[in-house]
């Protein structure tokens, strides 16, 4: 690439004013790129603040429609649902995941009835349902793969039949995308999409999320035998390739900002719909800096989201979704 030298070429000319900066912008952030993760809980008239995530709440089902309505009115296309399962409904096998009237299924039916065009994304993993806090079944201290895949695929079917549009397996068990796709198809759910957490790392940035779900204190050991090593990049491409071969319609990288290089490699290599999760730890870091007066709230939020677009994301799961949508609409 040939570039003329200074003073004939002055790159600052295209930065001279707002109109020109907008004309030459290489990437754009749209409301269509935003997905809002929300936490639902049991009870009535419940709005429970998540201490580690300022501004984020767990809401009960009787309030969830009004909780989500602003996102719908702003044009956010999708909501990701995460249930807070009481200890009384957890066990070592995660059997509540298969209950057709569990919190996730009731939330899906409630929101689909209120907002038929809103895409609902359902998290498929066992950690919200197990007494040990792991994403799969345990035997003799080992996380079982194939036995976990069997219950995960049934969990996915349960959610899809309740109205979940996009199944999002976040467990990182080998072969679960193929098993889920096969079971969905066998039950006439060929149009139910799969957004695979294809490259999910064993990250320290999930702490506030586990606090929000009440699973942090339950977790025995760590998740390093199934979630990815943060040191690895090529392995992420192998994981994505397998999930796409097994029937994933979209793939996700998680966490987000510390893994922008992975997002970029995935998008460039596969040219497939690519998403990222700006996880709880990322949200909490920005909010802590904002609340201490160290960062400008609006500018830091929007810059962080643009980073995902620049890296190649089609969409971003972010707790800032509603706030970002209002900013984009000039509200």
> Residue 314's closest CA among 280, 281, 284, 273?
273
Cβ(90)–Cβ(137) below 8 Å: no
Angle formed at CA 115 by CA 109 and CA 121, multiple of 5 degrees: 60
Cβ(313)–Cβ(274) below 8 Å: yes
DSSP 103-154: HHHHHHHHHHHH-TTSEEEEEE-STTTBSS--SS-EETTEE-SHHHHHHHHH
The pairing of beta strand 166-169 with beta strand 142-143:
unpaired
DSSP category for residue 229: P
Q: Residue 263: in which H helix or E strand, if any?
A: helix 260-270
Angle formed at CA 296 by CA 17 and CA 12, multiple of 5 degrees: 25
SS3 196: strand
Q: What is the C-alpha separation between 18 and 21, in angstroms, rounded?
A: 5
Told to judge if 200 belongs to the known catalytic residues of this protein, a careful annotator would answer yes
Find residue 39's DSSP bridge partners: 58, 82
DSSP category for residue 53: S
Q: Who contacts 86 (Cβ-Cβ below 8 Å, separation ≥6)?
A: 42
Told to judge if 254 belongs to the known catalytic residues of this protein, a careful annotator would answer yes
Q: What tokens appear for 274 in the block?
A: 């690519």
Out of 224, 254, 271, 299, which one is annotated catalytic?
Answer: 254
Cβ(198)–Cβ(239) below 8 Å: yes
Q: How far is CA 106 from the centre of its chain?
A: 20
Out of 100, 154, 200, 271, which one is annotated catalytic?
Answer: 200
Q: What is the C-alpha separation between 137 and 313, in angstroms, rounded?
A: 32
List, by residue number, the catalytic residues: 200, 254
């Amino acid at each position: 690439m040939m570039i003329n030298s200074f003073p004939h070429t002055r790159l600052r000319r295209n930065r001279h004013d707002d109109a020109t900066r907008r004309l030459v912008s290489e990437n754009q952030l749209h409301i269509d790129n935003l997905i809002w993760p929300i936490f639902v809980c049991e009870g009535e008239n419940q709005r429970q603040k998540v201490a580690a995530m300022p501004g984020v709440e767990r809401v009960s089902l009787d309030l969830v429609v009004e909780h989500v309505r602003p996102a719908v009115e702003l044009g956010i296309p999708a909501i990701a649902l995460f249930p807070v399962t009481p200890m009384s409904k957890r066990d070592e096998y995660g059997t509540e995941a298969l209950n057709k009237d569990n919190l996730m299924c009731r939330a899906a039916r409630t929101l689909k009835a209120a907002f038929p065009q809103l895409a609902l994304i359902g998290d498929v993993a066992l950690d919200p349902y197990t007494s040990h806090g792991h994403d799969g079944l345990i035997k003799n201290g080992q996380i079982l793969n194939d036995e976990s895949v069997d219950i995960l695929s049934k969990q996915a079917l349960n959610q899809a039949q309740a109205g979940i549009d996009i199944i999002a397996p976040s467990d990182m068990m080998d072969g679960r995308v193929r098993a889920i796709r096969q079971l969905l198809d066998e039950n006439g759910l060929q149009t139910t999409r799969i957004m695979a957490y294809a490259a999910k790392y064993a990250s320290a940035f999930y702490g506030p999320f586990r606090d929000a779900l009440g699973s942090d204190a339950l977790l025995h050991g760590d998740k390093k035998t199934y979630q990815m090593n943060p040191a690895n990049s090529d392995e992420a491409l192998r994981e994505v390739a397998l999930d796409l071969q097994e029937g994933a319609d979209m793939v996700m990288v998680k966490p987000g900002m510390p893994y922008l290089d992975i997002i970029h490699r995935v998008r460039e290599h596969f040219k497939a719909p690519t998403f990222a999760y700006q996880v709880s730890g990322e949200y909490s870091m920005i909010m802590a800096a904002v609340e201490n007066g160290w960062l400008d709230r609006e500018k830091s939020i929007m810059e962080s989201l643009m980073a995902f677009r620049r890296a190649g994301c089609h969409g971003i799961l972010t707790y800032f979704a509603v706030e970002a949508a209002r900013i984009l609409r000039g509200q």
